[in-house]
Structure 1
Amino acid sequence: MSDDTEEAANVSGLPAKMRDDEIEGVRRVRAALVLAQLDYRREIAALSQRGYDVADIARAVGVPGYKFAETVRVAQETAPIPEGFSGATVREICQRYFLGQITQEQVIHELTTWDYAIPEPRELGEFEEYEELPPSPPNSLNDVVQACQDGVLDGTTYETIIRAVMKRRQA
């Protein structure tokens, strides 16, 4: 591997000898697992909200009832998908795009119209020169940045989204 390739691998956060194409399959499976879990929870929550008994739902899906009550509780706490979007979070929308569940046009539309959380303003001088900044709030524009860094959002789509959001904020 050339020095240029090793440097590029380090920029993406991967170990020097690991390339994006080598980890792509793992990224896809991980995203699929996360989305499957969210979809499963939302389906369970929907059945529960329709009034079905926990034991009946457990029997229908083939899960022991004694384990299923906690599953239903967690499912009911899972954020619903807002109208007009394909995910409840910025990350979920990016993962659905990454797996081909939504188009590039759709991810761009959703993430340029998303109501991003804005970090709380900090007073000048609150941080020491090299102090680590506090984490961004969930569903902030930083989640789009992170999705690109994690390889679930391609650079072209990322740039289109960022430009459109910045343009919208300036309007």
Structure 2
Amino acid sequence: MSTQLEDRAKEARLLRRRSELDRLTYVRKVGELAPLGSQREIAKVLGIAQPNVSKMLKAAAAAPKLVEGFSGADPYEIAERYAIGELTLFQLVDELLRWDYPPTKNRTDGYDDLVFSVPGSWDDVVRAVDHELIDGRTYDFLLREGADHDARSEAAGLPYTGFTADEAREAAQRFVDGTSGDVLAGVA
């Protein structure tokens, strides 16, 4: 495969991802309008047909909800938004450290050894690395910080609580200071 093809494909993938995230954001925004007026009123102010509003509201009801205080509905969406340049490296690391990851133990259906991905879990971060949304250096930092945090909590006899906002900001700043700086990404 030629380098020119790879470079152009990378640009096309980034544009596709940006388009999909813009669509998701649009659907969510239209969903926020539902309690403010009728479908006819929403259609009028948006300049679209009422049947399109109906479709958008159904899509909004099915769309994953943003988690308060985060830029996405799950760690993968956060990584996607970083990859298209919506988030800085600081924001990415901060949010992924603060995320409350559910446990991923016992991920089989009980009948076979297939492992199922747990939505909102660390699996999303692994998938983001696999899809080149975040780089290995960032992944290693997140993994190391999480393990260190867990070890400190365990040594203090405390239950797992995850990172506080201050702890996450401090760690994110350390990481950004140790890299090339807090720049907009675009690694997709």
TM-score by length of 1: 0.75
Q: Distance in 1 between matches of 2:68 and 2:150?
A: 22
Change (3 A) 1:169 1:18: farther
What is the match of residue 150 of structure 2?
A: 169
Cα offset, 1:69, TM superposition? 0.9
Which of these residues, 79, 94, 97, is aligned with residue 94 of structure 1? 79
Which of these residues, 40, 57, 62, is aligned with residue 72 of structure 1? 57
Q: Determine if the alignment matches structure 1 residue 135 to structure 2 residue 116.
A: yes
Q: Which has the higher contact order (CA 8 A, sep 6+)?
A: 2
RMSD: 2.4
What is the match of residue 37 of structure 1?
A: 23
Which of these residues, 99, 105, 124, is aligned with residue 114 of structure 1? 99
Q: Determine if the alignment matches structure 1 residue 103 to structure 2 residue 97.
A: no
TM-score by length of 2: 0.69
Q: Distance in 2 between matches of 1:161 and 1:87?
A: 18
Q: Distance in 1 between matches of 2:137 and 2:74?
A: 21
What is the match of residue 25 of structure 1?
A: 11
The question of whether the paired residues in 2 share the 8 Å contact of 1:41 and 1:76 is answered with no
What is the match of residue 53 of structure 1?
A: 38
What is the match of residue 160 of structure 1?
A: 141
Cα offset, 1:115, TM superposition? 0.7
Which of these residues, 126, 130, 136, is aligned with residue 145 of structure 1? 126
Q: Distance in 1 between matches of 2:115 and 2:139?
A: 23
Q: Which runs of 5+ in 1 are unaligned?
A: 1-16
Q: Identity rate of aligned residues, in percent?
A: 30
- How many aligned positions are there? 149
Q: Distance in 2 between matches of 1:18 and 1:155?
A: 24
Classify the secondary structure of the residue corresponding to 2:145: helix
Q: Distance in 2 between matches of 1:26 and 1:166?
A: 36
Q: Which runs of 5+ in 2 are unaligned?
A: 154-188
Higher deviation after alignment, 75-84 or 51-60: 75-84
Q: Distance in 2 between matches of 1:139 and 1:111?
A: 11
Q: Distance in 2 between matches of 1:87 and 1:122?
A: 24
